Amino acid sequence: MPLEWRVVKRRAYGLLVGVALMMGVVAVVASVSLGEGLRDPDGSLGPGWLRMPLLLSGAFIVDVVPRGLWRARRRPSSFWSHAKSIIDEHWTRDRIALVVIGIVCFYITYVSYRNLKNFLPLIGGQLHDPLLHSIDKAIMFGHEPAIVLHQLLGENVAAQVLATVYLLFLPISPLSLVVFLVWSRNISYGYWYATAQCLAWALGTVSYYLLPTVGPNFWYFWLYSDLQDTSVTSFQRSLAASRLAVVYGPLNTDAIQSVAEFASLHVGIVLTLALVTHYTVRHAWIRWAMWVYFGLTVVSTLYFGWHYMADDIAGAAIAIVSVWLGGIATGQKFDKHGRSSHPTTSTAGVPVEQDGEPPALARQVATAD
């Protein structure tokens, strides 16, 4: 008689929630210790608590309305019934839980990250820009990486193109999260990307405190003085002004300073996106587009002096670790020495091995007995 085997499951969002709670607690403790209030960083669409619901509302409309109109193209009056069918098909309890958990955890993690980054100059400590600059020159056999790129690519058209690439990151980070939460074909993929991205923000924050720098553009500014003015130039001036306001007049400003440049989270977050896309998206052109975007992002961070080469290497390492840990936490199995993967679940429940035996194998053994 076959033995019954109950498959034990754990929650795919366990690590995601843990990272968000940890970041939130650290931010609150730092805020109380420094006597500085926590702030909600504003964006082009307003504060984060408003921005993310707006993005989700837009995604819901984009998901339901076009498909509803297409299905009702022969009989427009049937649009509402088709829209309801689409909602019932796609917006299941599991999908709604993924969206809510993912957005709340991202919001807590990102706001905590921005506040901890803001507190960094208030804590003080030595800046390590000369050290990382010397490593750059050693890697480049005595040459300045930025100058080499300026001479190779030029300082006009390339500056405009790379400025667009660099600033594209600002909407890409939250938009890519919304896409994975709303449209991932497997629920566990949405948890994977949300977990990996939040881990990257958290590990990047740790790196700022381990080896604080301001970046080559702010320390060796004369290396970038011949570049054509771009939107990045204006952005860098704005960040410099915000940092000065926080450092020299913290009680008289509502600004949030964002100059902290050890591990590059432009590189970290974009590589996280490229890796998860590589593992989960079927369309080759999308995967290639993400890798091209990643490569251009790396170039842009060095071209404008946002980061040292060591920063980009550290950012890439953070992405690899975050994607790996996020994959394990959400039930992904890596194949071919990490070149591909497959999910072990399509929900928030991840099967757990018992007594060292995978549940499927254990069931086979029990049945055979």
Closest CA to 139 of 317, 311, 285: 311
With a pLDDT cut of 70, the percent of the chain lying above it is 89
Mean of per-residue pLDDT scores for the chain = 87
Sign of the alpha-carbon torsion through 340, 344, 346, 348: negative
C-beta of residue 205 within 8 angstroms of C-beta of residue 265: no
Question: Which two structure tokens, joined as six digits, stand for 162?
Answer: 């790379």
**pLDDT of 138-154, one tens digit each?**
999 999 999 999 999 99
Sign of the alpha-carbon torsion through 103, 108, 114, 117: negative
pLDDT score of 298: 97
Helix (H) or strand (E) holding 341: strand 340-343
| pLDDT(3) > 50 | no
Q: Over range 14-22, report the average pLDDT.
A: 96
Question: Which two structure tokens, joined as six digits, stand for 36?
Answer: 């500085």
Phi, psi of 116 (to 5 degrees): -65, -35
pLDDT score of 93: 93
Q: Return the number of other C-beta atoms located less than 10 Å from residue 339's C-beta.
A: 9
Q: What is the pTM of this model?
A: 0.89
pLDDT score of 57: 85
Where residue 368 falls among pLDDT bands split at 50, 70, 90? very low
- Taken as a whole, the chain contains a residue count of 369
Cα 344 → chain centroid: 23
